[in-house]
Every structure is written in C-alpha cells, then in structure tokens.
Chain A
Amino acid sequence: MASFSIDQQPIEFEPGQTILQAAMAAGVYIPHLCFHPQFSAHGSCRVCMVRIDGRTASACTAPAAAGLEVENLSDDLQALRRDILQMLFVEGNHLCPSCEQSGACHLQSVAEFCELLMADLPFQYPRRMVDASHPDWVLDFTRCIHCELCVKASREVDGKSVFSLTGRGFDTRLVINAPDGLLVNSEFASTDRAASVCPVGVFLPKHQGFKTPIGQRKYDRHSIEQITEE
C-alpha cells in the first residue's frame, strides 16, 4: 500500500482518498470543522490547513499521493488555525456559557484543541431572528459557520432539501425552504439527519435545558482528537 507522511509518521492510503480521509482512517488527528466523513468535502472552513511539500493547502481537498511530506501540528500551522478560528468566533455569537451545545460543540472543541485563548479581532455580534416556530426545535442562525452539512444532510440523507445558503459575502446565511421561511412549515422532522449533523449550536432541541451535566458531555469525556464523527 502506498503511503505518505504526516509530521514524519507514515500514513497508508487508498487511491482517491484525500489527506484528511487517509489521516482519519489511520487515527491521526488533523483539526477540521466543515468536513464530515459521511459527506463530500466542502473546503470552506480552512481549519484543516496543512503544509504539503512546503505548500499550504486544506487537507480535506488535497488528494493523498505517495511520498508527500505533510506538516500538521507544527506551531506555525496551529497559529494559522487560531487565526482562522478567531475569525469564526468574531463572526457569529459563540458565547459558550449561554449555549446548550457547549461541551458537544465541534467549533468549541477544535478551538480549545488549537489553544485559542481569545479572539483578538472586532466582534461583530450579528443580530438575526431565531426560528422557534417548530414545536421541538429552535434554530439560532447567528452561530452558523456555513459548512453546509445540514444542507447536504437534508438533501442527500433526508431527501428533502430543507436548507439552503443564501446571500453573498458576509451576508451569507442559512435559510429554510418553506413558503414563509419558517421551520415549522418546512418538511423538517426531528429525526432528520440535518438536525444532528451541525458542528456548532444552530439546532437546539426544545423541552430540555443543559440536559447533560458538565463533566459528562461529549468533549468532556474525550478530547476531540480521540472522537470519530457520529
């Protein structure tokens, strides 16, 4: 089997795999956010930036090839990841103590892993209406990182196309396909894959509040590099 290396460690790969896919299969953690193994690569978050034979590229989109030397957890790349992550933290409202996804949030956990201590950029504090129309779910769009995982899950797994990204630039935002744009009037169902795939805290179930005690939440039990995506 052909192989390449990540931080000097040899990684075997199948033809057609990306660097990130091969790394995940080998149990080597490359910090990432918008990628989910169940779906095609997206390439938007830029957190999985690695250096491949000296050139910086995203591991989720770069094809694996024999003999590549990939740098992953170097100080320089972790610093770059912090610079990218802090942009996400000032773009949305990521106020962890008030978010029920805290402790099970992929963004939070990746940023902690990358040792982001603070976001030193002007905070934008976007104002957007939450959608609480559905009896069992509330959606807080100000946390969306535009990974499109819910868009893909709804289309490819649920067969519904409930979600779309609209707008352009900083005005890009998640919208719901319903005559009035409200979740309750869409084809969304609580069992949809789209509801469980969000890496941040846009989708929140109602009728429960901070259900899992601190210490027992997903990333309390294991650090992110030990968890394979569910």
Chain B
Amino acid sequence: MAHKLKIASTSLAGCFGCHMSLLDCDEKIIELLQQVELSRSPLCDIKQVADCDIGIIEGAVANSENVEVIRQFRAQCKTLVVLGACALNGGIPALRNQYSLAECLQESYIDGMGLENQLIPQDEDLPEILDQVYPVQQLVKVDYALPGCPPRADMIWQCLSALVAGQQPELSSELIRYD
C-alpha cells in the first residue's frame, strides 16, 4: 500500500460538534482511517502536531493558546481544512464580541450569580484571553472551508475522501448550509 497520509485535527474555541459530525460519516470513517495515520487528534493521545498532510480545525480563536495551535497547524499541515461556523465566523463564541472583554470577565468572574471568591483568573500557565473572538481565516490561510453548525457529514466526507485520493474536493452546493 502506498504512503499513508497523516491527518491531525483539533478544536479551538468550539464544542467538538464538528468532530461529532465527522463521526457521522459512520462506517465510511473506518474506510478513511485505513488510509491515513493520525497525528494530534481527539481520537488519539498525541499532544503535538507534527508534519502532516491534512490538518482539520474546528472552533474559533479566542485565546493565545488557540493562536499558537492554529499557527502550528498551519505551519505543519500541507492542507488545512476548516470546519464549522465558529471557525469561519466566530459562531457562538463570537457572541461575546457584543461586549468588551472587561465586561465579559466582570460578568463571568465577579458579578455573575452564585460566584464565590470572585477574581479574574490570571496565571502564567493560563492562556491570555483575546480582546475578541476571531475567525480562523483572520490568522491563517484556509485551504478548504466547510461551513455549517456542524458541517454536514456528507460534505466532510466529500472533502476528506477527495483529499485522501489526491483529488481536488468538489462540494455539492446543496450541502452548503450555515447552521
């Protein structure tokens, strides 16, 4: 068998719903896994992305760790596939962009109901929170964008199976839905 393609995937500020949709490819996922090797992914326990053929990202960019991860993925992956509304326009996390970061932190850690020992977390081991939530394409080049909340499993399959086969993905237009 020919060289196996290496795939990495992760979620930034997201809910892993796009990964769930990937799993909705059902038995086809087995077919896919036979042809690829996994790097960093919630499906295995590799923590750092290494040189990859395909990187898959879901979720928006909301803190400095997200920035580091997305930049690593971009640097390490030949092709970057970006899944879902959060990654592509901020999605649900971007609802906080309606407020200043100070307002968000104040409500979450100081004024919110039922809080004790109110303080805004700050520690060198904690990522710094960005002034607003950013979509992925405002930081790195995106090769393939699959919108949706989540993207339809069939669309993810169309994209990944084509890439694995070394072809240019062609997405069926009826699968393009933003929610």
Contacts of A125 in B (CB 8 A): 90, 94, 97-98, 132
B1-9, B26-34, B64-72, B135-143 - the one binding chain A = B135-143
Contacts of B177 in A (CB 8 A): 112
Q: Min CB distance, A78 to chain B, in Å? A: 10
Contacts of A98 in B (CB 8 A): 91-92, 95
Chain A residue nearest to B174 in the complex (CB): A223
Residue-wise interface mask of B (150-179) relative to A, using a CB-CB cutoff of 8 A (1 in contact, 0 not): 000000000000000000000101101111
Contacts of B174 in A (CB 8 A): 223
Q: Min CB distance, A93 to chain B, in Å? A: 7
- Given A95-B91, A96-B85, A115 contacting B176 (CB threshold 8 A): yes
User: Number of contacts between A and B (CB, 8 Å)?
Assistant: 76
Q: Min CB distance, B14 to chain A, in Å? A: 11
Determine which residue in A103, A113, A117 has the highest number of CB atoms from chain B within 10 A of its CB, and name it.
A117
Chain A residue nearest to B86 in the complex (CB): A97
Tell me if B149 is interfacial: C-beta within 8 Å of chain A.
yes
Contacts of B173 in A (CB 8 A): 112-113, 115
Main SS at interface, chain B: mixed
Q: How many residues of A contact B (CB 8 A)?
A: 25
Tell me if B12 is interfacial: C-beta within 8 Å of chain A.
no
For window 114-134 of A, CB contacts with B under 8 Å fall at 115, 117-120, 122-123, 125, 127
CA distance A22 to B99 in the complex (A): 46
Q: Which of under 10, 10 to 19, 20 to 34, or 35 or more describes the interface residues of B? A: 20 to 34
B145 touches A118 (CB 8 A): yes
Q: Min CB distance, B77 to chain A, in Å? A: 17
Contacts of B132 in A (CB 8 A): 125
Tell me if A94 is interfacial: C-beta within 8 Å of chain B.
yes
Instruction: Add 8 more A-B contacts to A95-B85, A118-B82 (CB < 8 A).
Output: A97-B178, A117-B147, A118-B88, A118-B142, A118-B145, A119-B89, A120-B137, A125-B90
CA distance A28 to B18 in the complex (A): 36
B98 touches A123 (CB 8 A): no
Chain B residues close to A by CB (< 8 Å): 82, 85, 88-92, 94-95, 97-99, 132, 134-135, 137-138, 142, 145-147, 149, 171, 173-174, 176-179
Q: Min CB distance, A47 to chain B, in Å? A: 16
CA distance A174 to B85 in the complex (A): 27
Determine which residue in A119, A120, A123, A223 has the highest number of CB atoms from chain B within 10 A of its CB, and name it.
A123
CA distance A8 to B150 in the complex (A): 38
Contacts of A214 in B (CB 8 A): 179
Contacts of A95 in B (CB 8 A): 85, 89-92, 94-95
